[in-house]
Amino acid sequence: MKEPMIRIRDVRKVYHIGNEKVVALDRINTEIGKGEICCIFGTSGSGKSTLLNQISGMEKPTEGHVLIGNVNITKLGEEQMAAFRQKHIGFIFQTYNLLPYMTALENTALPLMFQGYGRKAREERAAVLLKRVGLAERMYHYPAQMSGGQQQRVGIARAFAGNPKVIFADDPTGNLDTKTTAQIMEMIMEIAE
Protein backbone atom coordinates (compact mmCIF):
# COMPACT_ATOMS: atom_id res chain seq x y z
CA MET A 1 0.00 0.00 0.00
CA LYS A 2 1.11 3.56 -0.70
CA GLU A 3 1.67 5.95 2.17
CA PRO A 4 -1.65 6.30 4.07
CA MET A 5 -3.56 9.49 3.33
CA ILE A 6 -6.46 8.54 5.60
CA ARG A 7 -6.22 6.50 8.79
CA ILE A 8 -9.40 5.37 10.53
CA ARG A 9 -8.84 4.09 14.06
CA ASP A 10 -11.50 2.39 16.21
CA VAL A 11 -14.27 4.63 14.86
CA ARG A 12 -17.55 4.06 16.57
CA LYS A 13 -20.75 6.06 16.01
CA VAL A 14 -23.75 5.71 18.28
CA TYR A 15 -27.00 7.62 17.76
CA HIS A 16 -29.54 8.07 20.54
CA ILE A 17 -33.08 7.95 19.17
CA GLY A 18 -35.51 8.42 22.02
CA ASN A 19 -34.61 5.74 24.58
CA GLU A 20 -32.96 3.59 21.96
CA LYS A 21 -29.23 3.43 21.27
CA VAL A 22 -28.35 2.69 17.62
CA VAL A 23 -24.79 1.61 16.87
CA ALA A 24 -24.22 2.76 13.28
CA LEU A 25 -20.47 2.02 13.22
CA ASP A 26 -18.62 -0.30 15.56
CA ARG A 27 -14.80 -0.13 15.77
CA ILE A 28 -13.94 0.59 12.13
CA ASN A 29 -10.21 0.43 11.35
CA THR A 30 -8.64 0.94 7.94
CA GLU A 31 -6.15 2.97 5.94
CA ILE A 32 -6.48 4.49 2.49
CA GLY A 33 -3.25 5.19 0.64
CA LYS A 34 -2.32 8.30 -1.30
CA GLY A 35 -3.68 8.05 -4.83
CA GLU A 36 -5.98 5.13 -4.03
CA ILE A 37 -9.64 4.99 -4.94
CA CYS A 38 -11.73 3.38 -2.22
CA CYS A 39 -15.40 2.43 -2.52
CA ILE A 40 -17.73 1.72 0.38
CA PHE A 41 -20.34 -0.92 -0.44
CA GLY A 42 -23.23 -2.14 1.66
CA THR A 43 -26.96 -2.49 1.90
CA SER A 44 -29.23 0.43 2.64
CA GLY A 45 -28.91 1.38 6.31
CA SER A 46 -25.56 -0.38 6.78
CA GLY A 47 -23.69 2.82 7.71
CA LYS A 48 -22.05 3.85 4.42
CA SER A 49 -23.06 7.51 4.63
CA THR A 50 -22.36 7.57 8.36
CA LEU A 51 -18.82 6.31 7.73
CA LEU A 52 -18.33 8.85 4.94
CA ASN A 53 -19.51 11.61 7.31
CA GLN A 54 -16.95 10.53 9.93
CA ILE A 55 -14.07 10.30 7.44
CA SER A 56 -14.86 13.67 5.87
CA GLY A 57 -15.29 15.47 9.19
CA MET A 58 -18.97 16.26 8.62
CA GLU A 59 -19.71 14.47 11.89
CA LYS A 60 -17.56 13.49 14.85
CA PRO A 61 -17.37 9.85 15.86
CA THR A 62 -18.61 8.84 19.30
CA GLU A 63 -15.24 7.13 19.82
CA GLY A 64 -12.04 6.70 17.85
CA HIS A 65 -10.34 9.07 15.46
CA VAL A 66 -9.68 9.87 11.82
CA LEU A 67 -6.44 11.27 10.46
CA ILE A 68 -6.14 12.92 7.06
CA GLY A 69 -2.46 13.32 6.33
CA ASN A 70 -1.06 13.95 9.79
CA VAL A 71 -4.08 15.89 11.06
CA ASN A 72 -6.39 14.26 13.57
CA ILE A 73 -9.61 15.80 12.26
CA THR A 74 -11.66 14.46 15.17
CA LYS A 75 -9.84 16.90 17.46
CA LEU A 76 -10.57 19.97 15.32
CA GLY A 77 -13.22 22.48 16.40
CA GLU A 78 -16.02 23.52 14.01
CA GLU A 79 -14.16 26.53 12.56
CA GLN A 80 -10.88 24.61 12.27
CA MET A 81 -12.66 21.74 10.52
CA ALA A 82 -14.42 24.11 8.10
CA ALA A 83 -11.07 25.72 7.23
CA PHE A 84 -9.45 22.27 6.83
CA ARG A 85 -12.24 21.10 4.50
CA GLN A 86 -11.97 24.26 2.39
CA LYS A 87 -8.24 23.77 1.94
CA HIS A 88 -7.86 19.98 1.68
CA ILE A 89 -11.17 18.28 0.81
CA GLY A 90 -13.45 18.21 -2.24
CA PHE A 91 -17.00 16.81 -2.26
CA ILE A 92 -19.08 15.33 -5.04
CA PHE A 93 -22.70 14.93 -3.98
CA GLN A 94 -25.40 12.63 -5.38
CA THR A 95 -27.86 15.53 -5.49
CA TYR A 96 -25.32 17.91 -7.10
CA ASN A 97 -25.86 20.69 -4.48
CA LEU A 98 -25.51 23.45 -7.06
CA LEU A 99 -26.80 26.91 -6.20
CA PRO A 100 -29.71 27.56 -8.58
CA TYR A 101 -29.03 31.30 -8.99
CA MET A 102 -25.40 30.78 -10.02
CA THR A 103 -24.07 29.75 -13.44
CA ALA A 104 -21.95 26.64 -13.94
CA LEU A 105 -18.88 28.89 -13.91
CA GLU A 106 -19.91 30.59 -10.66
CA ASN A 107 -20.82 27.28 -8.96
CA THR A 108 -17.44 25.80 -9.94
CA ALA A 109 -15.52 28.87 -8.79
CA LEU A 110 -17.33 29.18 -5.45
CA PRO A 111 -14.92 27.10 -3.29
CA LEU A 112 -12.01 29.23 -4.52
CA MET A 113 -13.62 32.36 -3.12
CA PHE A 114 -13.32 30.86 0.37
CA GLN A 115 -9.64 30.15 -0.31
CA GLY A 116 -8.98 33.82 -1.05
CA TYR A 117 -8.64 33.68 -4.85
CA GLY A 118 -9.54 36.86 -6.73
CA ARG A 119 -12.48 36.81 -9.13
CA LYS A 120 -10.38 36.57 -12.31
CA ALA A 121 -8.24 33.69 -10.97
CA ARG A 122 -11.38 31.85 -9.74
CA GLU A 123 -13.10 32.14 -13.08
CA GLU A 124 -10.00 31.10 -15.05
CA ARG A 125 -9.56 27.95 -12.92
CA ALA A 126 -13.29 27.17 -13.13
CA ALA A 127 -13.28 27.60 -16.92
CA VAL A 128 -10.36 25.18 -17.30
CA LEU A 129 -12.15 22.54 -15.20
CA LEU A 130 -15.48 22.99 -16.98
CA LYS A 131 -13.70 22.48 -20.30
CA ARG A 132 -12.12 19.28 -18.92
CA VAL A 133 -15.55 17.91 -18.01
CA GLY A 134 -16.95 18.79 -21.45
CA LEU A 135 -19.00 21.85 -20.49
CA ALA A 136 -17.17 24.64 -22.34
CA GLU A 137 -20.43 25.66 -24.00
CA ARG A 138 -22.49 25.46 -20.80
CA MET A 139 -20.37 27.69 -18.53
CA TYR A 140 -22.96 30.45 -18.38
CA HIS A 141 -25.97 28.18 -17.99
CA TYR A 142 -27.85 27.84 -14.71
CA PRO A 143 -28.53 24.40 -13.16
CA ALA A 144 -32.17 24.45 -14.35
CA GLN A 145 -30.87 24.79 -17.92
CA MET A 146 -28.75 21.63 -17.68
CA SER A 147 -29.43 17.89 -17.60
CA GLY A 148 -28.66 15.79 -14.51
CA GLY A 149 -25.43 14.53 -16.10
CA GLN A 150 -24.33 18.08 -16.90
CA GLN A 151 -25.11 19.24 -13.36
CA GLN A 152 -23.05 16.34 -12.00
CA ARG A 153 -20.14 17.40 -14.24
CA VAL A 154 -20.34 20.87 -12.69
CA GLY A 155 -20.26 19.20 -9.27
CA ILE A 156 -17.14 17.28 -10.26
CA ALA A 157 -15.42 20.41 -11.58
CA ARG A 158 -16.31 22.23 -8.33
CA ALA A 159 -14.92 19.40 -6.20
CA PHE A 160 -11.55 19.60 -7.95
CA ALA A 161 -11.40 23.43 -8.10
CA GLY A 162 -9.16 23.90 -5.06
CA ASN A 163 -6.77 21.01 -5.86
CA PRO A 164 -7.86 19.08 -2.76
CA LYS A 165 -5.78 16.28 -1.26
CA VAL A 166 -8.90 14.12 -0.87
CA ILE A 167 -12.16 13.89 -2.81
CA PHE A 168 -15.22 12.37 -1.16
CA ALA A 169 -18.06 11.26 -3.43
CA ASP A 170 -21.38 10.22 -1.89
CA ASP A 171 -23.09 8.07 -4.54
CA PRO A 172 -22.14 10.54 -7.29
CA THR A 173 -23.91 8.57 -10.02
CA GLY A 174 -27.04 7.48 -8.14
CA ASN A 175 -29.30 9.80 -10.13
CA LEU A 176 -27.78 9.04 -13.54
CA ASP A 177 -28.35 6.50 -16.30
CA THR A 178 -25.82 3.72 -16.98
CA LYS A 179 -24.06 5.42 -19.89
CA THR A 180 -23.67 8.74 -18.04
CA THR A 181 -22.55 6.85 -14.91
CA ALA A 182 -19.66 5.27 -16.84
CA GLN A 183 -18.68 8.66 -18.30
CA ILE A 184 -18.81 10.37 -14.90
CA MET A 185 -16.69 7.68 -13.20
CA GLU A 186 -14.15 7.84 -16.03
CA MET A 187 -14.01 11.61 -15.68
CA ILE A 188 -13.50 11.51 -11.91
CA MET A 189 -10.61 9.06 -12.28
CA GLU A 190 -9.03 11.01 -15.13
CA ILE A 191 -9.10 14.34 -13.26
CA ALA A 192 -7.89 12.69 -10.04
CA GLU A 193 -4.76 11.50 -11.82
DSSP 146: S
Cβ atoms within 10 A of the Cβ of 184, count? 21
Residues 6+ apart with CB under 8 A from 157: 104, 108, 126, 129, 130, 132, 133, 135
Total-model pTM: 0.82
Nearest partner of 189 among 171, 167, 165, judged by Cα: 167
The predicted-structure confidence for 130-174, as pLDDT tens digits, reads as follows: 998 889 999 999 999 999 889 988 998 999 898 888 988 887 777
10-residue mean pLDDT series, the chain (193 residues): 87 94 94 87 87 92 95 94 90 86 96 89 94 92 93 90 88 73 75 68
